Structure 1
Amino acid sequence: MAPPLAAVDAPLILTLGLAEPASALFNELRQRHFPPERNYLAAHLTLFHHLPGTEQQAIADALSTVVQARTPMPLQVSGLQFLGQGVAYKIGSEALEALHRELQQQWWPWLTPQDQQKRRPHITVQNKVRPGVAKALYEELSATFEPFDTTGTGLQLWAYRNGPWEWLHTFPFAG
């Protein structure tokens, strides 16, 4: 069971925590390339974009249960993705896909169409810039990119506050 958490009047966002040094790398790239007026938070991997704040305790209880059954999960940073107005790193992980499907099934009645889709995990380091600026960064980063492994360390629950996010709780993987 999760610690008692009050319902909030904002949508909830669920992200995956990342191990160092990958977290530091993505944060540094985001600081350099994300428009400062839109850069409200550190680099992250979003699993769900809009869960109901009124169900925060049920969501927290489910997360407390799923993290107990999991060890930190292996992730493969497999390439770059051009987003049109930004750049992201593609993340691959069978364990992450299985976790996402499990939570989707559990929360299906609450999910928006965006969260009902299959996840294409990524970490955005640039967004909301002119396409030419994004294309130049994509080409620059692609020229030296080599795939690497990192680890997902747990789940993070946030309240979306119309721009800034409010951290609510971290659920570390038990292993």
Structure 2
Amino acid sequence: MSPAQPLSYSAVLGKAQSSDAKPAPPTHRQEKSSHPPQPPRHIQTSNSPSTNEQSATDRYRPKAGGENEARYVLTLQTDRAHHDRMTALREKYFPPERNTVRAHLTLFNALPESKLDSSVVPLLKAVAAEMGPFKIRVKRPYKMAGGFLVNLSPKDGPPPMNKLVDRLRNTWNEEGFLSDQDAAKRSVHYTLMNKVTDKQKVDEAYDEFTSTWNGDEGIVDGLELWKYAKGRWYWAQRFDFTGPPYIDMRPSHVGYERV
């Protein structure tokens, strides 16, 4: 797989799927993930990390490849209107000095580069050829210590999404290279606020948000793969769903625009 070029989340919108396609020149600054595969709080700061620190770090490390091997993030690709609405909310609440990536729904945080050609990309191509676009609804807010998110849990997710995630996770679990974090079932969500140390500010923002929030729906029409390196996301590849759409899963508006 050719080296990825740095791109903003929106710079690749509308780009056709191609494993060999070169991304267009970036139109925005490089993006820094708010959810890195290995969170900064677990970075070793001494030559003798504690057992707890080492255990936490290991949870985010894939079970294949070397410690310095590049990792890839897999996200859902949604229609433009939904994506823009969720990004606007993130831009409203996320600390601006830390908000360098647009709204995203992450499925896997740390796919090892050494497994891309043999396992990851072939399965994503096969899944994309079979899957059709389907509807999602994000609704349930959840407050964290430093912010809040809106959740689409596996329990509440539409059947097509649950089927998709289970197939990817089960296949890669059998091959044994997923990190402990990626191997476990967990929520799919948008993080709208994070890394805020002022509890009162978090409480006020959460109360403001929940007073008017009634959920949002959109169309998932593909997957996107991003290279994660030194805290930044670099767009790598897009996998459009080309199977029959799940008509009963479409939102109330008839038309939608691919991102």
Asked if Structure 1 and Structure 2 have the same fold, meaning a TM-score greater than 0.5 normalized by the shorter chain, the answer is yes
| Rounded Cα–Cα distance in structure 2 between residues aligned with 1:132 and 1:97 | 36
Would you say the 8 A contact 1:79–1:145 is kept in 2? no
Q: CA deviation at 1:66?
A: 0.2
Query: CA offsets per residue over residues 57-91 of structure 1, 9 Å max, x none?
Result: 23111101101111112101222121221111112
Give matches, 1:1-175, under 5 Å.
3=19, 9-57=69-117, 58-91=119-152, 92-108=157-173, 109-130=176-197, 131-175=199-243
User: SS of 1:122's equivalent?
Assistant: strand
| Rounded Cα–Cα distance in structure 1 between residues aligned with 2:132 and 2:180 | 29
| Rounded Cα–Cα distance in structure 1 between residues aligned with 2:89 and 2:213 | 13
Structure number, greater radius of gyration = 2
Q: CA deviation at 1:133?
A: 2.2
Q: Which has the higher helix share?
A: 1
| Rounded Cα–Cα distance in structure 1 between residues aligned with 2:143 and 2:239 | 31
Q: Which amino acid aligns with 1:69?
A: E
| Rounded Cα–Cα distance in structure 1 between residues aligned with 2:171 and 2:20 | 20
Q: When the two structures are superposed, what TM-score results if normalisation uses the length of structure 2? A: 0.62
How many pairs does the alignment contain?
172
Q: CA deviation at 1:37?
A: 3.3
User: SS of 2:103's equivalent?
Assistant: coil
Q: Which has the higher strand share?
A: 1
Would you say the 8 A contact 1:75–1:149 is kept in 2? yes
Q: For structure 1, which runs of at least 5 residues remain unmatched after alignment?
A: none
User: SS of 1:37's equivalent?
Assistant: coil
Percentage of matched positions with identical amino acids: 31
Q: Which runs of 4+ in 1 moved over 6 A?
A: none
Q: CA deviation at 1:4?
A: 5.2
Q: When the two structures are superposed, what TM-score results if normalisation uses the length of structure 1? A: 0.90
Going from structure 1 to structure 2, the CA distance change for 1:93 and 1:133 (only over 3 Å counts) comes to: farther
Q: For structure 2, which runs of at least 5 residues remain unmatched after alignment?
A: 1-17, 22-67, 244-259
Cα root mean square deviation, aligned: 1.9
| Rounded Cα–Cα distance in structure 1 between residues aligned with 2:142 and 2:73 | 22
